[in-house]
Amino acid sequence: MEELLQSGLWGSRSALRAALQQLWFGRYSRSGGAALDSSGFEHVFVGEIKNSRVSGCHSWVQLQQLERSGRLNYLSYSYDGPWRRFPDVLALQFRWAGHLKPLGSTFLGSSPAFDMALYTLCHVTRPGALCNVTLAGHAAAVQTHSWAGAGQQFIASAYPVSP
């Protein structure tokens, strides 16, 4: 948080907290209707089922909980990141309660706080774009997507991609 404060984009700790609250937990309509049915946090860390497809769900913690409860079935993986231990990056395909996620990705073994901090940093510095970073000496990349409306900006999605 201190690094973000030192950037000069926010005048105070309370302004930064308000901005983070809005970015991650502000509600907006992902379905295009009047109902405020989504938030960046819900999409990225919990996942959503919309139109019979899984959307978001980029948290290994959520994936593990869904699997333990018998509601998730891993189908395959297409990318295993460069690290020999955790955290790592995993791209995978799965079914959640019978609904397909054709391709998703997650940092594997990282804390949700780390994920949120990295995704926030990428959103702030490269909103709606690919953000290349180096983690533990290895190249990594995060894709962010923004959502704007009524003069406000939200994190719509953020997830790791193979560099």
Using one digit for the tens of pLDDT, what is the confidence trace for 47-79?
Answer: 999 888 999 999 999 999 999 999 999 998 776
Sheet holding 138-149, edge to edge: 130-135, 138-149, 152-161
Judged against a pLDDT cut of 70, whether residue 82 lies above it is answered with: no
- Tens of pLDDT, residues 28-39: 887 777 778 899
pLDDT of residue 35: 79
Rounded distance, CA 104 to CA 43, Å?
Answer: 12
pLDDT of residue 9: 75
pLDDT of residue 72: 94
**Catalytic (active-site) positions:** 43, 58, 101
pLDDT of residue 113: 93
**What φ, ψ does residue 99 adopt, rounded to 5°?**
-100, 135
Beta bridge partners of 5: none
Rounded distance, CA 61 to CA 86, Å?
Answer: 13
Q: What is the mean pLDDT of residues 130-139?
A: 88
Judged against a pLDDT cut of 70, whether residue 163 lies above it is answered with: no
Tell me the average pLDDT of the chain.
Answer: 88
